[in-house]
Structure 1
């Protein structure tokens, strides 16, 4: 009985304590069928360097339906359950909540009793999601103190444009849909990512586009006319009301992943902007709160790289350059290193952000890329480029996959992107080195996307107490 009344040992009050936790031994990776000819799956991957199966597929859990397009799945519970405001201190990090961005279906995956062979515990059908929330196209999952928060990219109607996109809440024990999160939405219409500072009681969200702007591929006319998202939104977390909008400028198209500082005493964070339509560069922006208001500033830029147009996809041949296309960023638990995945050029960048207003480039590796097509150190081909990244709790390893979104993959990498997963090791003072032993090829039938690590990772947990 006492065992059930102890917090999950993978929950940690502060980021510093989470960094001292045991190393991960397995990872869960989302696999999707690019042409929807087979069901998507969750791969279980051996990431234990002492294992004879290091870097290999342990198990693949296939779904019962086709056409889901898995993206940013997450845990039912994490360190946020230790919040003083939580009524769920004795939850366990047991279930993975997996959204299908194309189908609007949700899967609840049980990782017990055997984490190496998870099972499907529940399926929530699209009609129920729409009926109870008014939203469609679920995308990003975050575990909060009182439930699971899921952002969406669409509203109602066949094409998802009937009403704004937003966030809904899922019960973290029964997995019943509670409904829309927002009470006072304000001007927010588009959505993508979100995260928060729990003790300071604010949330930040970003923008991508409406479903017709991404489901069949990027719409060049909309991009060049600056019709994708370009704003950040800030919210009162407990009041569930919109506080402030910051427009980054219409030319700064698609601010996607938001990464607040992990230490809740630090009121700043980062967002990656995919492309500046005036010059094809990508950028990193820092936001912060001061004087009761939020502010944002561009703090790093990544230029496009000239390229032989014969090596570029038709979409970009007229430009004669490969844009970086920063599609994911991730922040280490000590808030020291920020990683930026340049899906266009094939570069993974490491910045020292000890001073969040002045990121310093401290490491870089090259793998794949539209024009560069850099091979893995093992000599094997790597299609696509670094995209979804995940950092180990101790900050010593950065895992990544190579696919963005199936229809966009076809436009930017017409030769195809067989799903793959690779690993970088991080130097004690920074710097990146690709692990020659770790390159997992999931095959041409699958694309690879989000990664989740056993016991939590750097884009899973939110913490309630500062690091000592």
Structure 2
């Protein structure tokens, strides 16, 4: 334990933006057929380094079949909370859940990222016994502990009771128990985040394990049986205070991105597909008059494609839906990045007016029908998927795998692991960096990215920017 706050903890988003740039990126790798253990790749992102954009270290796990997906830090800027913080923690350990196995790995990144190693393994039985949940998903470092959302309840299929959120001790990594005291109508789960000083949490919905583990279930999608609601919670009281239904046709309400500056009581939600027209959409929520409100503020249309360009799953539609699979908000709350995994587009919206997003930039790479190569000429399987933004907002990184069985359905020719980066322009616009291309070991796919020192989908802040 430090005797002073970790220098990577920042009181406000503005101070985080002024911090030194990232030196290393961490990316989880999954073996889609479980023929080898999943792994954590450490990538050098220093432009002046001889190993720039290369994997410089790999932490290979001792088990197979974990299906790495999302992960996060043990501690971040939320530790500076004036009421419940632990300011003398270090941003040191990465918490990496296996979404299919329900096992969690704790990886120590100190004293050097290129020597990162497993610190502890939490077996699924402990999670089942203490929480009744399974399929851990999103990890967020809170002021007093580590919060982890789940996609499954109890039982072999994860359908014995609803999924939810549980808390781990941020120093011992002991699983403490369920977070919710009163879940209200919440029965599905996916992402969550919060506004700490305003004392509320936001959660979203995907599906139960039988609806995603073996691939998308077309009948369930067309019957609008995937998640389509957003939930608002009293963070301190741990109770659901409001649920809003987006409409059953707005299937798979996934990533939630609150404004970083806690003065701003709004945020964004990405919806994968509208089953009436195959559109993807962005929604903006806000609080006014003591109530939360949400509205659709941007839509992304499908793109027509010939039958021979489409996987069997889409051939009856004659078009490629954008499939909005991830969104991320820059630290200054100015630009929202939207990953369109189906059409192979990364969109950049100016959201200075949060209820009136304006398209400010776009690049194409991969895609079901287009299959746009990288500017360096290399093929990019899949499409833009998990996106991460540097603290200063000048670089945007992304990978290309969504989930192993879904990859196989939408991209049957394969999704070899890849990670790229785009440079951004201050007033909008982005361009893929020709000299940034990460080669991962054969047989692996790449999912979420974390940056050393924090990034735009990691930290929550306790104080306003000045």
Counterpart secondary structure, 2:20: coil
Query: Residue 307 of structure 2 corresponds to which residue in structure 1?
Result: 309
Render the CA deviation track for 1:272-322: whole Å, top value 9, x for unaligned.
Answer: 000000000000000000000000000000000001110111000111101
Shift of 1:32: 0.3
Tell me the residue number matched to 2:350. 352
Kindly indicate whether the alpha-carbon contact (under 8 Å) linking 1:417 and 1:444 is maintained by their aligned counterparts in 2.
no
1:7-18 equivalences under 5 Å are 7-18=5-16
1:320 to 318, 321, 335: 318
Q: Deviations over 1:62-86 (max 9, x none)?
A: 0000000111100000000000122
**Match of residue 239 from structure 1:** 237
Deviation at 1:113, TM superposition (A): 1.6
Cα deviation 1:79-129 (Å, max 9, x = unaligned): 000001224110000000000000000000000122222100000000111
Q: Distance in 2 between matches of 1:380 and 1:452?
A: 24
Q: Which residue of 1 aligns with 2:185?
A: 187
Q: Which residue of 1 aligns with 2:454?
A: 456
Between the aligned partners of 1:137 and 1:201, the Cα distance in structure 2 is 27
Q: Which residue of 2 aligns with 1:169?
A: 167
Question: Are the aligned partners of 1:135 and 1:166 in contact in 2 as well (CA < 8 Å)?
Answer: yes
5+ residue gaps, structure 2, are none
Equivalent in the alignment of 1:418: 416
Distance in 2 (alpha carbons) for counterparts of 1:353 and 1:117: 39
2:363 to 362, 365, 376: 365
Q: Distance in 1 between the 2:111 and 2:23 partners?
A: 16
Provide the C-alpha distance between the structure 2 equivalents of 1:87 and 1:357, rounded to a whole number of angstroms.
Answer: 32
1:393 matches 2:376: no
The residue number in structure 1 matching 2:89 is: 91
Q: Determine the structure 1 residue equivalent to 2:405.
A: 407
Where does 1:130-145 land on structure 2 (aligned, <5 Å)? 130-145=128-143
In 1, the alpha carbon distance for the partners of 2:383 and 2:85 equals: 42
Kept in 2, the 8 Å contact 1:418–1:443? The answer is no
What's the counterpart of residue 110 of structure 2?
A: 112
Measured in 2, the distance between the counterparts of 1:432 and 1:308 equals 29
Q: Matched residues in 2 for 1:432 and 1:441: separation?
A: 22
8 Å CA contact 2:2–2:90 kept in 1: the answer is no
Taking the TM superposition and a 5 Å limit, the aligned residue runs for 1:264-303 are 264-303=262-301
Correspondence 1:139-158 to 2 at 5 A: 139-158=137-156
SS at match of 1:274: strand
Q: Secondary structure at the match of 1:235?
A: strand
Cα root mean square deviation, aligned: 0.7
1:178 maps to 176
Task: Render the CA deviation track for 1:386-442: whole Å, top value 9, x for unaligned.
Answer: 000000000000000000000000000000101100000001211010000011121
The 1-side partners of 2:90 and 2:253 are apart by 33
1:236-263 Cα shifts (integer Å, max 9, x gaps): 0010001000000000000100000000
The answer to whether the 8 A contact 1:34-1:406 is kept is: yes
Are the counterparts in 1 of residues 55 and 439 from structure 2 also a CA contact under 8 Å? Answer: no
Task: State the Cα distance separating 1:444 from its structure 2 match.
Answer: 3.7
Tell me how far apart the structure 1 counterparts of residues 411 and 31 of structure 2 sit (CA, whole Å). Answer: 16
Matching residue of 1:53: 51
The answer to whether the aligner puts 1:439 opposite 2:437 as a matched pair is yes
